[in-house]
Amino acid sequence: MSNKKQKKVLGRGLDALLNSSDNTKFKKETQSTPSSLEVDLNKIQVNPNQPRTNFDTTEIKNLTISIKDLGVIQPITVREIDSKNYEIISGERRFRASKLAGLNSIPCYIKGVDNEADILKMSLVENVQRVDLDPIEIGLTYERLINDYNLNIDSISRIVGKERSTISNYIRLLKLDPIIQSGIRDGFLSMGHGRALINIDDKKLQLEIYEQIISSKLSVRQTEKIVRGNKRTNTSSTSSDVSKIYIDATNKFEKIFDSKVRLKENSEGKVSLTATFKSINELYLILKKLSN
């Protein structure tokens, strides 16, 4: 898709989502360029349906420092609850950082939205279009658009300007064991690792391979190789169970060395072993033990 077409898709995404005769007034307001107003921070409350659930403390602190130096460059978007109070549609991080920075007010775009469903839809779409949501948050957001608003993948693809396959891959991540999902959210492994693990139906085996990815710092390619090995095992009794070899070898070496051990495979299939010892004397004692 060209940049010109991509911009066109994203530009009409919200309009496509809220395309009904009941929200004509709302559409007209979103199509015009809003002007921002300074709003007292004490009059603003967070959106309980905010798609983002992870707020990185370090990022908030860095944003706070930036706001202290430069102010809030990009206004947040809110809707008016009553004449004295507002609710955030998007921009909760800027809101939080502004409070930490000691500001009394923040620039806001005020949207004329009254329908709760439209508010949630707008919040979901704006957050999906952000690039800093983690893969699980994005998958959950897509799932909510499907389950809560009866949208299909084609509709979501048109709204957020993403390929159908991309949307499906995010949603499939939600089939992973919750522990693995947490690992993706916390950055211990990538979406690529998660996509490889989805192909393992056994949740227990998923977790075993997940632990191996963390302990041995396996690449996505190495993880895919382990997964392929397990899939072959299910269909052929003569195929080797690659992941169990990794896990078993790691556990045995760690028991012998009484130390964390890392197994790493290069592109040629050669495996190296790395272990850390407290001192040369400790290594000598282990070698002596092995020789006996």
What is d(CA 52, CA 85) in angstroms, rounded to the nearest whole number? 22
pTM: 0.55
Per-residue pLDDT at 195: 94
Residue positions annotated with a catalytic role: 92
Q: What is the pLDDT of residue 266?
A: 65
All structural domains of the chain with their residue ranges: 3-130, 176-291
The pLDDT tens digits of the residues spanning 5-16 come to 444 434 344 444
pLDDT category, 26, cuts 50, 70, 90?
very low
Cα–Cα distance for residue pair 45/184, rounded to 1 Å:
29
From 78, 73, 105, select the one nearest 91 (Cα to Cα): 78
Question: pLDDT by residue (tens digit) across 217-256?
Answer: 899 999 998 888 776 555 443 334 556 677 777 777 777 7
**Topology of the domain comprising 3-130:** 3.90.1530
What sign for the dihedral angle of Cα 57, 61, 62, 66?
A: positive
41 within 8 A of 95, measured Cβ to Cβ: yes
CB neighbours of residue 129 within 10 Å: 16
Question: For residue 115, what are the CA distances in angstroms to 49, 120, 155?
Answer: 14, 9, 21
